[in-house]
Structures are given as C-alpha cells and as structure tokens.
Amino acid sequence: MNIERKKKSFNTNFILFLLGRIVSDTGTSIQMMIMPLYIIDIGGTATTVGTFSFLSLMPALLVYPFAGVIGDRMNRKIIMVVTDFINAGIILGLGLLSHWGIMRLSLLLTVQVIISLMNGLFEPATRGMLPQLVDKKELTQHNSIVASARSASVLLGPVIGAALYANFGVTLVFFVNGISFLLSGTSEMIIRYTHIKQKATEDVKGMMNDLLEGVKFVLQNYLIRKLSFLLLISYFVIQPIFSVILPLFFKESLLYSDVQYGYLQTIIILGSLIGSILVGYLFGKEVRMSKPLVIGCSILSSSMFMFSILLFPTSLYILGNDTTIYFILLASVLCLFSAGNMFISVPVQSFIQQATPNEYMSRVFSLVNMISRGGIPFGALIYGMILERAKMYWTMLITTIMMIFAVVIFLASLSKNSIDI
C-alpha cells in the first residue's frame, strides 16, 4: 500500500513538473518567435536581431558552471520557483512598458541578459530534479515525455505568437509569456520534493572547490566525457545548419514564399516531436542506451548526406527550385534529420542522469550543457565565415563527411573499450 502511494506521489510530482515546463516553454516560444519581427518593426537591424539572439544564449552558458554548484547546494525546487517568478515579473514589466509606449531596444536587450541568466540557473536545477521524481529505470521514458512536450510547445508557440502579434501587438505577447511563468512557478511550488542537503563550505573558495569536483567527475567518467564530446560536435555542426545554412539556402536558391518557410520550420519541429515520442515508445523500458544511440547516429548521418545532395545545383536543375516534389523531399529529409537528433539527445541525457550521483547532478548537467551548447554560437560564426568563401553545397557535404567520421570514431571507441550503455 505504501509503495503504491509513493508511486502515485511520484507520478503526481512528475505531472506537476511537466505542466510547469509545458506552460513556460509555450510562453517562451511565443515570445522568442515574435522578438525578431518586433525588433525590426521598432527600428532594429539584422545586427540588432543577431545581438538579441547572442544575448539569449551566452549569459546562460557563462553562468552554467556556477548554476550547477548552486543547484547541488540549494533546494532545486526553490531555484526553479524563484527563477520562474523573477522571469514572470520582468516580462510582465515589459508588457506594462509596452502598453505605456515607452519600450526601448536598449532596455529589451538588457532585460534579455537577465532572462538568460535566470534560464541558466533554472536549467541545471530542473535537470537535476527530474531523476528524484521518477524511477531511474523509467528515466528514458520520462525524458522522452519531457522532450515531446517541449517540442509540442515549440510547435504551438509560433502559431499562437503570430496570431497574437498580428491581431493584438507585442504587449499581449509579453503578458501571455509573463503569466505562463507565473503558472509554471505555481505548479512547481506544489511538487513534493525533499532537498538532500550536502556538506559544503559557504565561501567563494568552497564554491570553486565544488565546481572543480564537478569538472573532475566529468573528466574521470570516461563515458560521460565521450558523450559530452559527441554533444559538442553535434551542437557545433547541426544547430547552425538550421539557423545559418537553411535560411540562406531558402532565400538565395529557392523560390518558395515566406509562408512555406514557416511550414518548413513547423515540419522540423514536428520531426523532433516524432523522434522524442518514438524513443520513449520503443526504448522507454530499455536499461541500455546503445540501441537508440546507434539508430540516432545512423539517421542523423544519412539525413545530413541526403540534405547535402539536395543543395547541389544538379538536384535543383532536375527537381526544380519551386516545385512541390522538391519541397516535400526537403521537408522529409529535415524532419528525419530532426527526429534523428532526438534519438541521440534523449538517451544521452538519460544515461548521464543514471550515471551521476544526486550530489553531483546539477553540476554535471551544467557542465555538459556548457560544453555542448557552447558550440552553437561558435559553429554559427564559423559557418558564416566559410560560406563567404565557399559554395554552400560543398560546405554541407564536407561537414557531413566530417560528422560521419566523428560518429564512427565515437561508436568505435565504445566498442574498443567494451562499453555498452
């Protein structure tokens, strides 16, 4: 009877955890989709949009290591609730400023730094908290549910955001996102969670020692180190394909409308949703993560190769750069591409959660996130520099070959060391 009650409590906690993520992710997706349009509408330039994107990511990356230490020292639930409420207050404040007509670009960029810092504190805490809410044997299943919910939120965000912005303006967008953070924080407050206090000194030296312990744990764990390297390569290579190569190719080489580009983005997100659902359905009960990881690497490599072939002028000449058949092929490949990425990220996250003791959980995830996501801005920068000097299709093909080579080395190193995760 007690076991049943405990299981029920865990399920209730996970539902509250999930609801909070869905609501805040949807609100964030609504606002982030609209911000580039809004910045341009109030006199911003492409540089301003790029600066906004940079400020949305870099502060979080810089704070990640220290956020991990804080997440292991302090109550993770309190961190999540406080950061959500701070974001709610800031974004609702933006809504009021917009309503009063005194919004400024400089203020928007400054506020984005604060929001990014709050997100940097929130992420390691939430990643570290999840394994304490569910059975470790079901981590892959629950991680796939969280990933699916996040993909669905991102899928809904642009649709809702475009409708709100077109009909009511940016003020309502701010208010909707601010309220979403309030609801998320409220949901997290109801979660039954017991913080296990760790022995730690309170001064700066103690914080640095905790951080170094986390770094040492990651470096000494062979598999986590290898998985972090795989994520770094993946983020460095893959994310700029969606943010740099695809929009440039769409604008410069294809003759489709902006509306069709929106459809393409929706299909990409749909691929992530399908991939995360399939991982949970097919491998949710698997103790070992090697099967979905191998499948994910295979899907990712093959879809990257197909995408690079579609970029070549010969493909455009044969299929046409404005035909339905080409659009369907491009959308299908990108959908597969996105789904394959989920077959990698979900099991990797599950394994790290299984292999990491609770007292290191937030630190390890903050370091892994910093390592992996740190590749995104630098990857985009390098792609941009290369594309100024080289043809896009050759760049993509060479990148694909390098990615396949990296994946083969990774899988071979696991096999060589007789490691099965």
Q: What is the pLDDT of residue 6?
A: 43
Whether residue 4 has pLDDT greater than 50: no
Whether residue 353 has pLDDT greater than 80: no
Confidence of residue 132 (pLDDT cuts 50, 70, 90): confident
Whether residue 246 has pLDDT greater than 70: yes
Whether residue 8 has pLDDT greater than 70: no
Question: Cα angle at 268 between 267 and 271, to 5 degrees?
Answer: 85
Whether residue 328 has pLDDT greater than 90: yes
Comparison of pLDDT for 173 and 371, the residue scoring more = 173
Confidence of residue 285 (pLDDT cuts 50, 70, 90): low
Return d(Cα 164, Cα 185) in angstroms, integer: 23
What are the CA-CA distances from residue 189 to residues 11, 17, 69, 220 (Å)?
16, 10, 22, 36
User: The pTM is what?
Assistant: 0.71
Return d(Cα 186, Cα 180) in angstroms, integer: 10
- What would the mean pLDDT of 164-173 be, rounded to a whole number? 85
Return d(Cα 144, Cα 386) in angstroms, integer: 35
Return d(Cα 325, Cα 331) in angstroms, integer: 10
Confidence of residue 3 (pLDDT cuts 50, 70, 90): very low
Output the average pLDDT for the chain.
81
pLDDT 10s digits, 362-389: 778 778 877 777 777 777 777 777 877 8
Whether residue 1 has pLDDT greater than 50: no
Cβ neighbours for 124, distance < 8 A, ≥ 6 positions apart: 64, 67, 68, 71, 362, 363, 365, 366, 369
Whether residue 241 has pLDDT greater than 80: yes
Q: What is the pLDDT of residue 327?
A: 94
Domains of the chain by start residue, with CATH: 1-197 (1.20.1250.20), 203-421 (1.20.1250.20)
User: Is 67 in contact with 118 (CB distance < 8 Å)?
Assistant: no
Confidence of residue 10 (pLDDT cuts 50, 70, 90): very low
3-state SS, the chain, equals CHHHHHHHHHHHHHHHHHHHHHHHHHHHHHHHHHHHHHHHHCCCCHHHHHHHHHHHHHHHHHHHHHHHHHHHHCCHHHHHHHHHHHHHHHHHHHHHHHHCCCCCHHHHHHHHHHHHHHHHHHHHHHHHHHHHCCCHHHHHHHHHHHHHHHHHHHHHHHHHHHHHHHHHCHHHHHHHHHHHHHHHHHHHHHCCCCCCCCCCCCCHHHHHHHHHHHHHHHHHCHHHHHHHHHHHHHHHHHHHHHHHHHHHHHHHHCCCCHHHHHHHHHHHHHHHHHHHHHHHHHHCCCCCCHHHHHHHHHHHHHHHHHHHHHHCHHHHHHHCCCCHHHHHHHHHHHHHHHHHHHHHHHHHHHHHHHHCCHHHHHHHHHHHHHHHHCHHHHHHHHHHHHHCCCCHHHHHHHHHHHHHHHHHHHHHHHHHCCCCC
Lowest mean pLDDT among 212-216, 308-312, 361-365, 417-421: 417-421
What are the CA-CA distances from residue 154 to residues 32, 39, 77, 86, 301 (Å)?
10, 20, 24, 22, 24
- What would the mean pLDDT of 260-267 be, rounded to a whole number? 77
Give the position of tokens 């290898």: 226
Whether residue 316 has pLDDT greater than 90: yes
Whether residue 253 has pLDDT greater than 80: yes
Whether residue 420 has pLDDT greater than 60: no
Whether residue 9 has pLDDT greater than 50: no
Q: What is the pLDDT of residue 5?
A: 42
Q: What is the pLDDT of residue 135?
A: 78
Comparison of pLDDT for 245 and 421, the residue scoring more = 245
pLDDT 10s digits, 104-116: 888 888 888 898 8
Whether residue 296 has pLDDT greater than 50: yes
What are the structure tokens assigned to 119, written together? Answer: 């997100």
Q: What is the pLDDT of residue 263?
A: 78
pLDDT 10s digits, 181-231: 999 999 889 888 776 665 555 555 677 787 788 888 888 888 888 888 888
Confidence of residue 43 (pLDDT cuts 50, 70, 90): confident
pLDDT 10s digits, 68-90: 788 777 888 889 899 999 999 99
